[in-house]
Amino acid sequence: MHPQSLHPHGVFSAALTPLDAELAPDHARFIAHCRYLLDEGCDAIAMLGTTGEANSFSVAERTALLEAVIAGGIKPKQLLPGTGVAAFTETIALTRHALSVGVETVVMLPPFYYKNVSDDGVYAAYSEIIQRIGDARLKIVLYHIPQMSMQPISHALIERLRKAYPSTIVGIKDSSGDFANMTAMVERFEGFSVLTGADPLLLPLLRKGGAGCITATSNLVARDLAYVFKHFRDSDEDAALKAAQARIVTARELVSRFAQMPSLKALVAARTGHAGWERLRPPLEILPAAQRTELLASAAAFAAAA
């Protein structure tokens, strides 16, 4: 099934966003990165998410980057942009813009600034967004990342949203790391795409009936993730599957040793030879020199072993 069909499935990269010297999104470098990820086997690019520093960018910056990517030859069906922000009117604007350029599936955070909000409040926000947009093409992948948003998406809320908007609420990205939560959603919600945000969980989730992943380490090991997606039914003793899963786990551990986003950016800078890849928009910071040296040394050892 195609990633843009009713039930998205596959390997989607939570793509990093390169920045120029003014700390603005570097369109040309991002387009090149998208092409690289697709060539490595990703089904689509989940741009402007947590890994992409989306909440550090304005609506204008986000819409300009999406337009640039499409103008650069990336097909709208190969994109799942993040459009959820704190103000539902801006979520509507970002989502309408995505639809206007041919993108039909978006990843949408719940409103996240106010804490301890009830399911009724979160439901009201999603409902207002969907009704005000009023476009039957729209497909929403909910975004459950409670460690960042502090706004969990409960199963009861999912059930209510699916009942009200069955052709719109098509899946969820679960970045909680809670495998039991992911498998419970697979079991409870038939025809609902459960996508893990944790790379090592792709293989076990697929075997439980999950739909795939939207992950940060895909910026480094997309080819291995794509292999796992295609061969997850193979035996655990299959040498190629075992090796791919081992590389995924090692890469995830590598970028989790220090702060994840600057680690990922440092490794992409090393791969591409473009030092500018290391830039992050404040308040995020590049790795301290000692950590960067240790990370690159560990990555070199990992690459040599692989």
- How high is the pLDDT of residue 6? 55
CA angle 131, 133, 134 (to 5 degrees): 60
User: Exactly one of 173, 196, 227, 265 is catalytic; which is it?
Assistant: 173
CA gap 229, 241 in Å, rounded = 10
**pTM of this structure:** 0.95
CA-wise closest residue to 215 among 192, 242, 194, 196: 196
Per-10-residue mean pLDDT of the chain, 306 residues long, equals 62 98 98 98 98 98 98 98 97 98 98 95 98 98 92 97 98 97 98 98 98 98 98 95 97 97 98 96 97 96 82
Give the active site residue among 91, 143, 196, 215.
Answer: 143
Q: Is position 50 annotated as part of the catalytic site?
A: yes
Query: Which pLDDT score is estimated for 46?
Result: 98
Rounded-to-integer distance, Cα 141 and Cα 139, Å: 7
Catalytic residue (one of 89, 113, 114, 242): 113
Q: Are 200 and 177 in contact (CB under 8 A)?
A: no
* Residue of 50, 63, 215, 217 with catalytic role: 50
Please check whether residue 43 is in contact with residue 77, taking contact to mean a CB–CB distance below 8 angstroms: no
User: Is 43 within 8 Å of 223 (Cβ atoms)?
Assistant: no
E strands, 109-192, in order? 139-144, 169-174
Q: Answer yes or no: 143 catalytic.
A: yes
Catalytic: 265? no
CA distance 144 to 172: 7
Q: Is 36 a catalytic residue?
A: no
Q: Write out the H or E segment, with its range, that includes residue 13.
A: strand 10-13
